[in-house]
Amino acid sequence: MSTPQSALSARNEVREVAPKLIELTEKVVYGDVWERPGLSKRDRSLITVAALIALGRADQLSGHLERAVAHGVTRDEVGEVITHLAFYSGWPTAMSAGRVARKVLGEARS
């Protein structure tokens, strides 16, 4: 599974100021946590997208939406997660996520 370009770009920006953080991201988060057998990568992507929406982390959402689509999450499922979370994390987080998803999923269509 290749890393989405937006994620690589973000990592390269942060690497300049916090190289250890990126090393841990690559070795622990993606080298261990994402490789654990208890959940599929698709499920991990869906959970991660939901958490980022709920926390209002639009900056991180783009790369994880790209990853989620690559792992088999559909546009319709992304829309359902956003709608569902509007009632749990708030309308503003859902609206922000919808705008990010429109941009990312629109680009994925092209």
What pTM was computed for the model? Answer: 0.86
Does the domain spanning 5-109 belong to CATH 1.20.5.50? Answer: no
Q: How confident is the model at residue 1 (pLDDT cuts 50, 70, 90)?
A: low
Digit-coded pLDDT (tens) for 43-59: 999 999 999 999 999 99
Residue 46: per-residue pLDDT: 97
Residue 109: per-residue pLDDT: 63
Residue 4: per-residue pLDDT: 66
Question: Token pair for residue 57?
Answer: 């982390």
* CA distance readout (Å), 82 to 13, 17, 28, 85: 28, 33, 28, 5
Alpha carbon 20 to chain centroid, angstroms: 21
Query: What are the φ/ψ torsions at residue 35 (nearest 5 degrees)?
Result: -95, 0
The structural domains of the chain, with segments of one domain joined by +, span 5-109
Q: Are 104 and 66 in contact (CB under 8 A)?
A: yes
